[in-house]
Homo-oligomer: A and B are copies of this chain.
C-alpha cells in the first residue's frame, strides 16, 4: 500500500502542474481552454489513442483533476461529453461516427449532452416514452420529451435513448442515437431548479429526423448501450475520491472563521457537527481512492462505487447545514451582510443531489442486490410489454 506517486505519476504530475500554472489565465474562454488542454494531452486521458485520447491510466486522469482543483480551475465545459457520451460512442459507434465526433468532442469543437430521462421515466429509466419510428427510407422520426438535460441549450450533439418497439418488454424495445441538437424540430427550454438557477433543460422532439447512420448499436439494443453510459456516469459522481457538494476543507475553513463569534456552548456543538461531517467526507474520499487504485489495475468500476454518492450526499448536506448555521442571524436570509451567498446557495442545491444521477433509494437497491447479493423484490413488470404496462395501473 502506498499513497505516493509512482515515479511515472510524479513526472506526469510535475508536467501537468507546470503546464497549468503557465496557462491558467486562459480558462475564461471555456471551449478554447479545453482545446488548449487537449493539445497538452490532458483531456480524455484514459481514452484509447485511436479515439483521440492518450491511452493513459485513471490515476493520470485523477492527477490532472487534482491539479486543476488545486488551482481552483473550473471543470471542463464538455465534461458530460467526455465522461458519458464519448465512451458510449467509442464502445458502440461506427467507424464513421468515431471519426466524425470523438476528436471534436475532446477539443470542445462540439459540445454534447445526454438525453435519457423523461417526465414519466425517472428512477425507472427504461419506462421512457420518446418514440423513434422507422421511415420507409430507413431513417427515424423522433417524437417525445426529455428532461433534466444539462447543457442542452449549448450542445451540438446528444446521445438520445428512444423507444422503437412498444410491443416487447420495456428493456428490449429501446434504441440509442446520436442526435444533431440543431436539427429542425428540436426545442430546448430551460428548467429552473428550486434555487432559481436553470442548470437543466427540457428538450422537445417534434418530428425530428435522425439518419439511420446515427444509430448507436443495434435497434432494440439501446438498454445495453445505455448501461455503458451509466457505468461511465457512476465514476463521475462521488467516485475516485472527489467530493459531492462542498469540499470538507472549505467547510472547516468557514467554520473556523466564524467560530469565535459563537458562545462556548455553540462552539462545542459546532465542532461535533464538523467532526461528524468531516469523518464521513474523509471516509468517502479514501474509499474513492481505493476504487481509483482498482481502476488503475484495470478492474471495472463495480456497483460499489455508488456507495460514495450515497454517503457523500449525506455528509454534504450535514456539512452545509453547519456552514449555514454558523452564519448566526444571517442564516435566515439568502445573503450575508457582506453579500455572500455561498452557503445558502449550496443549501438549496443539495436536495437535488439525493435524486439526480440515481436516487438514494435506487442506489440502495443496486448495492443491496449487486454487492450484498440480497434477493430482488418481486417484479410485476417483468415480461410485460411496454404498451401493456401503461395500462396496468
In the complex the two chains form, what is the Cα distance from A267 to B264 in whole Å? 11
Q: Which residues of B contact A378 (CB under 8 A)?
A: 378, 380
Cβ contacts A260-302/B at 8 Å (1 or 0 each): 0000111111001000000000000000000000000000000
Q: Which residues of B contact A267 (CB under 8 A)?
A: 265
* A: interface residue count bin: under 10
Closest to A380 in B: B378
Number of identical monomers bound together in the oligomeric complex = 2
Closest to A267 in B: B265
Closest to A265 in B: B268
Q: Which residues of B contact A269 (CB under 8 A)?
A: 268-269, 272
Q: Which residues of B contact A272 (CB under 8 A)?
A: 269
Closest to A271 in B: B265
Q: Which residues of B contact A380 (CB under 8 A)?
A: 378
Closest to A268 in B: B265
The residue among A264, A268, A272, A378 with the most chain B CB atoms within 10 A of its own CB is A268
Chain B: minimal CB distance from A255 (Å): 16
Q: Which residues of B contact A268 (CB under 8 A)?
A: 264-266, 268-269
Chain B: minimal CB distance from A51 (Å): 45
Chain B: minimal CB distance from A368 (Å): 15
In the complex the two chains form, what is the Cα distance from A265 to B272 in whole Å? 10
Chain B: minimal CB distance from A174 (Å): 25
Chain B: minimal CB distance from A382 (Å): 12
Closest to A266 in B: B268
In the complex the two chains form, what is the Cα distance from A34 to B270 in whole Å? 53
Chain B: minimal CB distance from A326 (Å): 15
Q: Which residues, 220 to 276 on A, are CB-close (under 8 Å) to B? A: 264-269, 272
In the complex the two chains form, what is the Cα distance from A207 to B284 in whole Å? 59
In the complex the two chains form, what is the Cα distance from A290 to B378 in whole Å? 39
In the complex the two chains form, what is the Cα distance from A380 to B380 in whole Å? 10
Q: Which residues of B contact A266 (CB under 8 A)?
A: 268
Closest to A375 in B: B393
Q: Which residues, 189 to 240 on A, are CB-close (under 8 Å) to B? A: none
Closest to A264 in B: B264
Q: Which residues, 336 to 393 on A, are CB-close (under 8 Å) to B? A: 378, 380
In the complex the two chains form, what is the Cα distance from A265 to B380 in whole Å? 54
Chain B: minimal CB distance from A266 (Å): 8
Q: Which residues of B contact A265 (CB under 8 A)?
A: 264-265, 267-268
In the complex the two chains form, what is the Cα distance from A138 to B315 in whole Å? 66
Chain B: minimal CB distance from A356 (Å): 25
In the complex the two chains form, what is the Cα distance from A34 to B15 in whole Å? 87
For the complex with contacts A264-B264, A266-B268, 10 further pairs of A-B residues with Cβ separation under 8 Å are A264-B265, A264-B268, A265-B267, A265-B268, A268-B268, A268-B269, A269-B269, A269-B272, A378-B378, A378-B380
User: Chain A residues in contact with chain B, CB under 8 A?
Assistant: 264-269, 272, 378, 380
Interface pairs (13), CB distance under 8 Å: A264-B264, A264-B265, A264-B268, A265-B265, A265-B267, A265-B268, A266-B268, A268-B268, A268-B269, A269-B269, A269-B272, A378-B378, A378-B380
**Top 6 A-B pairs ranked by shortest CB distance?**
A265-B268, A268-B268, A378-B380, A378-B378, A264-B264, A268-B269
